[in-house]
């Protein structure tokens, strides 16, 4: 049933793997895709991933820096997989604890783990228990404890209220008994558990021997289901703050000094000191604060939650150093994740690419898109200036044929740029020209003509300005997708304001979706990069940078920081992260 199972170190060394019988395809591709698009990109909040026909589930072991991945056909619903992967993790850790601790995973020789038999045993157990579970639900009414109850006991425990109701239910139950239909018993069972609580046996109410979550050590399947229904809500997890006080005054002093530096968000000291492995509960309150902090910095709410989940997954089980607190550990992990997200995954070197296009005697084409008023035209002009300063010639294609004044706005920029770089200094040739056909015409057609013109006239770069459009406007989105599909620009830049909050996600998702839906090829052209504008107006609320890069996985190529030609920057990821972390 399983296609494969593999255990590898975070450094990428495969420690052990299993391939299902009859599975011929290598699992390297899917696992690499998982690593590339989930684990390396801080998207590990969720523990499943699909790759073509395969479903992959994974688990991070942060203490030993291991990753467990199982793959199976997407069409199968294997209910036992989550538990199975947990079991394998625990078993593998238990069995090789010493090796993992002493040598460190990296030093171990590849595939040196004799784990096949254990794996097969655990797999068999998991499959059998999943079968058994499905049998358990098929229990008939007579077999159930409920059938042992008398109507009287039901009425008594209700304290005399609703005497009629249970009686009515009873009638229904007798009908069911005749049908032997097991399904509708569930809600009734629940009710029955309540009666148990009020019943004569006080043993039922004694939870002292049970775990915090209501489960009982060594309890069987039925018992577990039973307890689930009775013991609600589970007892609260005790707050974790004791060790700070219990250790020596010196440590308390150290920590409180450190905490001062964290400021509001991380100032809370619910953390622990000492070597212990982190649990989700330890982190919960810090994570919640962190989420709120990110939202306050203008990171989209969804993304904040996903990031916090990812950080939690990354830290769960990690053993903390002696002098660390939960807050500082979480803070560090978040900081690393943010840097990772902002770090470009792909090189965008426009100047180099323009030179390459030059050598092929064709213009390099960049299309700008985005919603209304975000600064497409203004930043297009700034980019023109930057290209001209770098010795290239630019043709601006006025494809915003919709907004009144759009063409004149570009004309003004063209004049100004030409006066800054007069043709006399460039062999009598204007460094920038405008290609325009007025208003109301088909933008895709104008772009195409402009590109052909640029090729003939040997312009180095064509910058295509487009009309702003709301992401929900289907006809306009289709038109944009067509413009891109027909003209195949070298670069599609999405222009977005740094002021945008939750809206950023919706904009980018829908722009990308439209490009994908209307693409004419198998590999659709999506957004390749982002121009983040109005960065000068947001103080330290720099969250949009995170939302946009997280959603697209694409780099922020330019940052607009004002309204003059010089106000164009590249993103300083470290500075953005430190602004984000600042309380
Ligand atoms: N402060 C600031 N204003 C900007 C920036 N980029 C554009 N703007 C302003 O935003 C407004 C809309 O710009 P425009 O280029 O016409 O937007 P478009 O509709 O997307 O083409 C104009 O007033 C610009 O001056 C920027 O980086 N900083
Ligand atoms: Mg414009």
Using CA atoms, how far apart are residues 370 and 508, in angstroms rounded to an integer? 9
Using CA atoms, how far apart are residues 353 and 489, in angstroms rounded to an integer? 12
The band of 155, judged by pLDDT with boundaries at 50, 70 and 90, is low
For residue 399, the ligand closest to its alpha carbon is 2
Choosing from 398, 563, 570 the residue with most ligand 1 atoms within 8 A of its CB, the one to mutate for a pocket test is 563
Q: Are 377 and 466 in contact (CB under 8 A)?
A: no
Q: Whose CA is nearest to atom 14 of ligand 1?
A: 375
Give the C-alpha distances (Å, rounded to integers) separating 455 from 384, 426, 459, 485, 507.
17, 19, 6, 19, 33
The beta strands (E) that lie in 428-536 are given as 432-435, 461-466, 491-497, 529-533
Q: Whose CA is nearest to atom 10 of ligand 1?
A: 375
Q: Which is higher by pLDDT, 227 or 294?
A: 294
Choosing from 368, 375, 466 the residue with most ligand 1 atoms within 8 A of its CB, the one to mutate for a pocket test is 375
Contacts of 152 (CB under 8 A, 6+ apart): none
* 474: nearest Cα among 513, 525, 439: 513
Q: Is the pLDDT of residue 185 over 70?
A: no
pLDDT at 178: 41
For 87, the token pair is: 């079991």
* 279: nearest Cα among 238, 244, 313: 313
Per mean pLDDT, which of 75-84, 128-137, 171-180, 360-369 is the most reliable?
360-369
Secondary structure (DSSP) of 63-98: TTTEEEEEEEETT---TTHHHHHHHHHHHHHHHHHH
Q: Is the pLDDT of residue 20 over 50?
A: yes
For the segment 513-525, the average pLDDT, to the nearest whole number, is: 84
Q: Is the pLDDT of residue 209 over 80?
A: no
Ligand 1 centroid, distance to 371 Cα (angstroms): 12
Q: What residues does ligand 1 touch, defined as CB less than 6 Å away?
A: 370, 372-379, 468, 533-534, 536-537, 560-563, 567
Q: What is the pLDDT of residues 43-64, one digit of tens each?
A: 777 788 988 889 999 999 888 8
Ligand 2 centroid, distance to 176 Cα (angstroms): 69
Q: Whose CA is nearest to atom 22 of ligand 1?
A: 375
Q: Is the pLDDT of residue 439 over 60?
A: yes
Residues 512, 514, 515, 519, CA torsion sign: positive
For residue 378, the ligand closest to its alpha carbon is 1
pLDDT at 135: 58
Ligand 1 centroid, distance to 377 Cα (angstroms): 7
Q: Is the pLDDT of residue 170 over 50?
A: no
Give the C-alpha distances (Å, rounded to integers) separating 17 from 5, 65, 70, 334, 355.
6, 17, 10, 31, 47
Using CA atoms, how far apart are residues 17 and 495, in angstroms rounded to an integer? 45
Q: Are 66 and 329 in contact (CB under 8 A)?
A: no
Q: Whose CA is nearest to atom 9 of ligand 1?
A: 375
For the segment 196-200, the average pLDDT, to the nearest whole number, is: 40
pLDDT at 109: 58
Q: Is the pLDDT of residue 110 over 70?
A: no
Per mean pLDDT, which of 38-52, 71-85, 252-266 is the most reliable?
71-85
Q: Are 254 and 324 in contact (CB under 8 A)?
A: no
The band of 434, judged by pLDDT with boundaries at 50, 70 and 90, is very high
Scan for tokens 């390099």, then name that residue.
Answer: 364
Give the C-alpha distances (Å, rounded to integers) separating 41 from 36, 100, 107, 551.
7, 26, 26, 11
* 47: nearest Cα among 280, 313, 338, 316: 313
Q: Is the pLDDT of residue 419 over 50?
A: yes
Q: Whose CA is nearest to atom 25 of ligand 1?
A: 563
C-alpha atoms less than 13 angstroms from C-alpha of 283 in its C-beta half-sphere: 27
Q: Is the pLDDT of residue 199 over 80?
A: no
Using CA atoms, how far apart are residues 446 and 62, in angstroms rounded to an integer? 55
The band of 152, judged by pLDDT with boundaries at 50, 70 and 90, is low
For the segment 275-291, the average pLDDT, to the nearest whole number, is: 87
- Ligand 1, closest atom to CA 403? 19
Using CA atoms, how far apart are residues 274 and 108, in angstroms rounded to an integer? 28
Give counts: helices (H), strands (E), the chain: 20, 13
For residue 381, the ligand closest to its alpha carbon is 1
Please provide residue 569's backbone torsions phi and psi, each rounded to the nearest 5 degrees: -135, 170
Ligand 1 centroid, distance to 391 Cα (angstroms): 25
Ligand 1 centroid, distance to 374 Cα (angstroms): 6
* 69: nearest Cα among 41, 112, 39: 39
Using CA atoms, how far apart are residues 43 and 28, in angstroms rounded to an integer? 20
Ligand 2 centroid, distance to 391 Cα (angstroms): 25
Strand duo 568-569 + 556-560: pairing? antiparallel
Q: What is the pLDDT of residues 385-409, one digit of tens each?
A: 999 999 999 999 999 999 999 999 9
The band of 415, judged by pLDDT with boundaries at 50, 70 and 90, is very high
- Ligand 1, closest atom to CA 537? 1
Return the SS3 of 171.
Answer: helix
For 321, the token pair is: 């150093």
Secondary structure (DSSP) of 243-306: HHHHS-HHHHHHHHHHHHHHHHHH-------SS-B--HHHHHHHHHHHHHHHHHTT--HHHHHH
Give the C-alpha distances (Å, rounded to integers) separating 383 from 91, 386, 409, 567, 568.
57, 5, 15, 10, 8
For 383, the token pair is: 């980019």
pLDDT at 292: 95
Ligand 1 centroid, distance to 560 Cα (angstroms): 9
Q: Is the pLDDT of residue 249 over 80?
A: no
Contacts of 412 (CB under 8 A, 6+ apart): none
């Amino acid at each position: 049933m399983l296609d494969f199972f593999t255990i590898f170190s975070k450094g990428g060394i495969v420690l052990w793997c299993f391939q299902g019988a009859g599975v011929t395809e290598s699992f390297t591709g899917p696992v690499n895709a998982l690593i590339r698009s989930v684990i390396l990109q801080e998207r590990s909040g969720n523990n499943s991933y699909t790759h073509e026909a395969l479903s992959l589930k994974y688990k991070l072991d942060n203490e030993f820096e291991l990753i467990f991945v199982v793959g199976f056909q997407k069409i199968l619903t294997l209910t036992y997989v989550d538990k199975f992967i947990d079991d394998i993790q625990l078993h593998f850790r238990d069995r090789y604890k010493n090796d993992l601790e002493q040598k460190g995973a990296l030093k171990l020789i590849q595939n040196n783990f004799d784990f096949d038999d254990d794996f097969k045993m655990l797999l068999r157990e998991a499959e059998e228990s999943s079968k058994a579970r499905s049998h358990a639900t098929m229990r008939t009414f007579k077999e159930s404890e409920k059938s042992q109850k008398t109507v009287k006991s039901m009425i008594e425990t209700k304290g005399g209220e609703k005497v009629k109701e249970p009686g009515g239910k009873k009638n229904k139950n007798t009908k069911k008994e005749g049908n032997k239909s097991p399904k509708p018993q569930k809600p009734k069972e629940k009710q029955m558990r309540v009666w148990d609580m009020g019943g004569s046996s006080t043993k039922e109410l004694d939870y002292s021997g049970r775990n915090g979550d209501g489960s009982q050590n060594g309890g069987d399947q039925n018992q577990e289901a039973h307890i689930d229904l009775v013991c609600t809500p589970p007892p609260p997890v005790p707050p974790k703050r004791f060790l700070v006080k219990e250790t020596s005054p010196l440590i308390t002093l150290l920590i409180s000094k450190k905490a001062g530096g964290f400021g509001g968000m991380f100032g809370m000291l619910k953390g622990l000191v000492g070597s212990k492995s982190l649990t989700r509960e330890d982190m919960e309150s810090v994570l919640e604060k962190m989420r709120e902090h990110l939202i306050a910095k203008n990171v989209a709410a969804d993304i904040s939650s996903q990031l916090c989940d990812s950080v939690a997954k990354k830290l769960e089980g990690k053993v903390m150093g002696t002098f660390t607190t939960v807050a500082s550990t979480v803070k560090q992990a978040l900081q690393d994740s943010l840097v990772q997200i902002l770090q470009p995954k792909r090189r965008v070197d426009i100047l180099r690419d323009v030179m390459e296009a030059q050598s092929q005697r064709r213009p390099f084409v960049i299309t700008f898109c985005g919603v209304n008023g975000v600064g497409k035209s203004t930043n297009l002009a700034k980019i023109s200036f930057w290209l001209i300063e770098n010795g290239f010639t630019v043709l601006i294609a006025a494809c915003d044929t919709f907004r009144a004044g759009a063409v004149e706005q570009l004309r003004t920029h063209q004049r100004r740029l030409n006066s800054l770089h007069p043709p006399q200094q460039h062999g009598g040739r204007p460094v920038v020209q405008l290609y325009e056909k007025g208003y109301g015409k088909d933008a895709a057609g104008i772009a195409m003509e402009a590109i052909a013109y640029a090729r003939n006239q040997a312009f180095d770069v064509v910058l295509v300005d487009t009309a702003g459009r709301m992401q929900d406007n289907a006809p306009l989105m289709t038109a944009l997708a067509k413009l891109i599909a027909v003209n195949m620009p070298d670069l599609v830049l999405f222009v977005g304001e740094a002021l945008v909050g939750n809206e950023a996600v919706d904009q980018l998702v829908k722009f990308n979706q439209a490009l994908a839906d209307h693409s004419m090829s198998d590999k659709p052209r999506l957004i390749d990069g982002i121009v983040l504008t109005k960065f000068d107006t947001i103080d330290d609320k720099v969250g949009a940078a995170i939302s946009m890069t997280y959603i697209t996985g694409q780099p922020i190529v330019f940052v607009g920081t004002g309204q003059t030609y010089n106000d164009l920057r590249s993103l300083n990821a470290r500075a953005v992260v430190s602004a984000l972390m600042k309380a």
